[in-house]
Structure 1
């Protein structure tokens, strides 16, 4: 009997059946799992069997495994107003939808996208709908999403919409209805992709077992659809982002990498003669299409919001000239407003001859007298929401509220505002959402959910719907849609099929791939960031080296300073000269430990190792599309919080070594790698020069020279070469002038010269560019100076020339505003 019971508890089928039975015993009958019948129930059963086969009888283990996969992919998001990213919350239980049910959803989404396209072409064109009284003029012109500058402008390619998203809810009886449309800059497709990648790792056998529809064909259609609309056969497409503080920036970086688009910001772009270009290290390169993830009002300060500092002046002109496709066209959000939902059912019948396959939730726009009166008289039975986004005075938080839950004072204030500015509000029916299972406290529990579905225009102009999208799951069991907010979890959505699903990938057939060894365009901003990433990493490592010598060799547990006062003063000066810490009051053990602690981990105004790490991490955040996941994990790793100072310093040193190893052994030798290494070599050369200046006085002691070798990581090299002991000139020669010492000054300068000569030449006159000439000059100095003649004056000259090389690189490649857009000899590609 015991063996039979043990077998039952380890059998995935038995575990899955028990999970489902226990869950449905206390869940709503309309729950997506409990209401499933036939093939739909079989899919849920198979999913739970896979879950049990991998994780046993532990749902917590399944949750941890799914979250770990999401974290490994690097999925994250940011709440508006926060500077730190949060990990993307992924439920281990996907929403299962059978193919027949999904076909109805997909047809409804495609119909809705086509209807939106027709409406947008009318309101920015002939305006027949307004003229005929089918929609009020104030619904269009009073919307902050309507951009008057776009009227009568034919978008390149002939479409207003290329990408569309819709939020759906499943009612208690199983019907699907539309909660909201997204046309301005729909977000979430990248999260749907990342959810699928994570769940494919967590539930590896499910995709083939249930013939789960794949995401790749949708993204291929999106990419090919934009490509087809461009004028060139091999176009360059960018994904335009507002930057790393945008809440969905990690998603945007992932999409850019997956689709092969350039991730660009407004500062990367320039319009010349109605043509859009991206600033790159090889000059200005033509951009043929932009997938816009920027608020359209900020897109062009000359055409829309003149206060925008993140847009591209002249972009609207380039679009009007037909030279750049923008997805979606600016102004598409005019049909996104909640107020528009009140008119869509009638518009669908008039424009398409058919009712909406996916009906809206019932909506009344208070901008019309009858609707205003209805909303006012039925507050207790409605959700009140902003008609055009924002936060009208009657809804200070800008979020939908249940009329029945308002206090008398809030109710009176809203009614007063409804009379004063009724056009700012809509009333909507209260919708109760269906539920799906999530894991909480090692058990399944029901939670309400919504489903975001995406559609993209393919190369044939037809709409392709992503099979699945992603589910947002509410934190609380209350099923009313108005209370769910943004949700607490996300879940993959698996659409199952009765037929085998072809293993489609975005990669073309191997025999159809055109060989190329050009790694592609490197925007100037990306080069700038990579250069400074290398500098910050090396800067942190150099400061850490001084602190480790100070902590390891300078402090005796019994007596305090183990090194002589002069050597100790030199070490302290290296730290204070970089503003890493204030000078210590003395050189006793407690003073030196407090001094080192400030330089290592201060979070205030001192330029500590922690502060430098924060700068490197900030750069990593904006370079997600170009850095490996392992590199991002090291940059994002928390600052060590346990162990003594020397132990924590050692942990950080090993982390720096791992990052350097990844750069050296895992980055392809492209221009991107060159800028990382160039920044590292420049920073190391400056650090070596500073260290030499501090320790090579004529009266340098043996302790000074030994410490200098420690800081330059050259003790072993010196001992192998010189058996007679420490001497000033041989130490200087090894650290300053030996071209074979990878920690020495000469080696860094040789690498700098090699890099600047290997980078793209922007002029065509055959002469050395400024950064090349300056690198050659400093290399010549290092080759001709005798070790015995090296002094502070010569090191000052080397420092100044290194700074000159850095400035020349910045002026030539990073285009910090002062560089002309079209320099002499510069060609436009």
Structure 2
């Protein structure tokens, strides 16, 4: 801790103000006491600024914040600045009032475009303005949205100019992103600057999210509605944010394949049948929502969704087609639209914009090209701007000629916008503060009473270069928390419900079939990887490592190699020499193009990424941990083994015993049972079962992780009957076959059934028969044929589980005895 945080903070501020411009947020502040308090808090926890940046970044990583660049497969950590943007309550009140006015105006415009169409008919806007946009969805014309409202959640990007004025640079209505990142920024910065909340009376985000959730629920036709967040899936760049929002708001995270439209209603496919969905906060491109209404090639939408929407049985936030007013071309008409529809000027003016669809405007933009930013009018980049928006002065040579030529051919595809010089804020660059430009995204949502509410703060994006313009800043290099502070104390509001407003229940909630499938295969991949790693370690420790123990005989080594190669982990080695086995073992553990341990880990990691709304941050971190890099294979194998053990421990001790856990455990048990049946058949049988070699039996105990149990029970030595009984038939051995069979039957017995006749479903009956077969077997008579039959039964049981509980493509929506809820 810094001996004198106040002196430290004062030094930082003085050094910064000597280098920053007077228009900077800190330098322009009439009251620097809040900034002094913030830097004192920062100095108290991290006297070095680079340490402060590392600390807040570590908190963001612990929270699980991440994002993905389009085209990349791996997520990146979410970049957070340790220095929040401070805005006093008086200034924020003006921003909030302007945001509410703009949200109201946007609702009026959208309602007219898809309703009476008076704005075009009366000549307020040209017809090409809406119809020229790819986001204008003609099938939505004339459809009355449930509750009569098209917009429920919007985002507005603001820029602050050198004179302190705030101006709108973009509206986001299709699938506004960033609210989850604002929440995560607050969590990360709050954990770093724990005392700042009380010192500055910072307004909280929780009331905003509670109001938004209440607003969606108020439009549904049921008192206890089921609300989902519709995501494109884990490859979407903002999927981590979506998962975080779903978990925070208590929404069901669903993909298009999870949903089905039937008889004018929308249902989610769950392990207990179809369950009704009343509202969807969609993050899916509206053109992909329903292949029957929009893009017929969409494979991630819900056929019939728009019919259910038209029937009023499902609320969509926002209404499909609302994104038409996002177009930059609309910015040129917003001042006139506000005066026409609201009878007042914009409280948050746009940056000056000229749509080239008018001859005079086109001529102005062409003449003032070097002083403007040239941008696409309707979203997609036109031929003259293949890279998107750019400063006109930076477009030279052949590129400039191509732009002017295409602007002459299709002027309606372009807009010219004034170049905005942005205000800066303090940002940690290296080990000192430096001024960097920023933009602010503000979020507005409808509350339970239908009125607009504004998130106090939003989130800021910080540019990389000191002179970045609004067009160049893009997504920014860093993000920052935005703190609205004031003199009045802030009540500690959260999303916790009022006492007595909820009935206590132990029903774990809705489990979509896709999620059950993911948890089942997460268990199988983890167990398969652990079993394969165990076989590799036995091979390395006994046949490759000279100090690892006695060398196994060739016949036993051949069985190990055959088992590993037969699993698809690596191709057969040319011989059983030490060099060939070393290469073989390394490929089985690390080769990325096979069913190696590394490949199985990647499968598990992908499932973890897709299920992060239901997994703890610790579990996600273990699944996403990079492959070990220790020098020796045995060291890497040991590191992986400890990781598998940690994941198993989290599953056993931290997961609630709900259906998600049952499917995860089922996957583990079925995979382990198959592996045990196979190794008993390979190493516990000799010919017709007359006896097995000692090395084979010892290897079997190693593979079943049962050496200690056997030695304690039978100190006299190895016998085939005793080993087989312990590994295959002892119901008290958690690594044994009988133990798995019992648990499989127990897990299936607790899963929901579709009928009400109390008869066992096929998968339950198969598990009961398998358990009975193993429970009545004896080690003396257990033979290879019986073990092979057990393996086949387990595979058949797995298929039955998949048919019953998981998505199977075009399966009938209504099963016999199925009740829709």
> Structure 1-normalised TM-score?
0.97
CA distance in 2, matches of 1:474, 1:815: 44
CA offsets 1:708-741 (integer angstroms, 9 cap, x no match): 0011011111112213210011111111111111
Query: Does 2:441 correspond to 1:448?
Result: no
1:27 shift after superposition: 1.0
Residue aligning to 1:4: none
- Distance in 2 of aligned mates of 1:249 and 1:50: 33
Distance in 2 (alpha carbons) for counterparts of 1:703 and 1:451: 69
The match for 2:534 is 545
Structure 1 gap ranges (5+): 1-6
Q: Partner of 1:572 in structure 2?
A: 561
* Equivalent in the alignment of 1:26: 19
DSSP-derived class of the 2:19 partner:
coil
Query: What is the Cα deviation at residue 780 of structure 1?
Result: 1.5
- 2:537·2:634 contact (CA, 8 Å) conserved in 1? yes
Q: Decide which moves more: 213-222 or 714-723.
A: 714-723
1:85 to 53, 61, 75: 75
Establish whether residue 647 from structure 1 lines up as the match of residue 635 from structure 2: yes
Q: Report the Cα offset of residue 579 of structure 1.
A: 1.0
User: Quick one: distance in 2 between partners of 1:370 and 1:601?
Assistant: 65
Q: Which residue pairs with 2:626 in the alignment?
A: 638
* Counterpart residue number, 2:597: 609
Shift of 1:558: 7.9
Contact 1:560/1:587 (8 A) holds in 2: no
Q: 1:72 pairs with 62, 76, 87, which one?
A: 62
Instruction: Give secondary structure in 1 for the equivalent of 2:626.
Output: coil
Please say if residues 31 and 435 of structure 1, whose CA atoms lie closer than 8 Å, have aligned partners that are also in contact.
yes
SS in 2 for 1:25: helix
Match of residue 662, structure 1, among 639, 650, 661: 650
Runs of 4+ more than 4 Å apart: 558-561
Task: Tell whether 2:342 aligns with 1:352.
Answer: yes
* Alpha-carbon spacing, 1:131–1:610, altered in 2? closer, same or farther (3 Å): same
Cα deviation digits, residues 402-444 of structure 1 (max 9, x gap)? 1111112111111110111111110000110000111112000
CA distance in 1, matches of 2:732, 2:76: 45
Aligned residue number for residue 206 of structure 1: 196
Which residue of the partner structure matches residue 683 of structure 1? 671
The residue number in structure 1 matching 2:231 is 241
Aligned partners of 1:631, 1:298: CA distance in 2, in Å? 32
Deviation, structure 1 residue 142 = 1.3
User: Counterpart of 1:51?
Assistant: 42
1:673 equivalenced with 2:661 (yes/no): yes
- 1:468 and 1:169 map into 2 onto residues whose CA distance is 14
Alignment of 1:214-229 (within 5 A): 214-229=204-219
- Give the match for residue 29 of structure 2: 36
| 1:271-310 CA distance string (max 9 Å, x none) | 0001000000011000000001000000000001111000
* Aligned equivalents of 1:12, 1:549: Cα separation in 2: 57
- 1:711 corresponds in structure 2 to 703
* Structure-to-structure mapping, 1:188-207, within 5 angstroms: 188-207=178-197
Following superposition, the deviation at residue 643 of structure 1 comes to 2.9
Q: Which residue is equivalent to 1:778?
A: 770
1:317-466 paired onto structure 2 within 5 Å: 317-397=307-387, 399-466=388-455
Deviation for aligned residue 1:510: 3.8
> Match for residue 278 of structure 2?
288
Map 1:801-820 → 2, pairs under 5 A: 801-820=793-812
Judge which range, 228-237 or 370-379, deviates more: 370-379
Aligned to 2:241: 251
Q: Secondary structure at the match of 2:378?
A: coil
Give me the whole-angstrom Cα distance separating, in 2, the residues matched to 1:437 and 1:696. Answer: 69
In the alignment, does 2:682 pair up with 1:694? yes
Structure 1 residue 700: deviation in Å?
A: 2.2
Give the match for residue 116 of structure 2: 126
Q: Which string of whole-angstrom CA distances, capped at 9 and with x for unpartnered residues, describes residues 193-215 of structure 1?
A: 00001111000000011000000
Map 1:713-752; keep pairs closer than 5 Å: 713-752=705-744
**8 Å contact from structure 1 (residues 685, 749) kept in 2:** yes
List per-residue Cα deviations over 1:216-258 (Å, max 9, x = no partner).
Answer: 0000000000000101000000000000000000000000000
CA contact (8 A) 2:513 2:806 kept: yes
Displacement after TM superposition at 1:559 (Å): 11
Q: Quote the Cα distance in structure 1 between the aligned partners of 2:98 and 2:547.
A: 79
Moved more, 188-197 or 816-825: 816-825
- The answer to whether structure 1 residue 13 and structure 2 residue 6 are counterparts is yes
1:627 matched to 2:615:
yes
RMSD (Å) for aligned C-alpha atoms: 1.2
Which of 223, 247, 269 aligns to 1:279? It is 269
Residue 818 of structure 1 deviates from its aligned partner by 4.2
Q: What are the within-5 Å matches in structure 2 for residues 167-182 of structure 1?
A: 167-182=157-172
Deviation at residue 587 of structure 1 after TM alignment: 2.4
Tell me the equivalent position of 1:525.
514
Shift of 1:554: 2.2
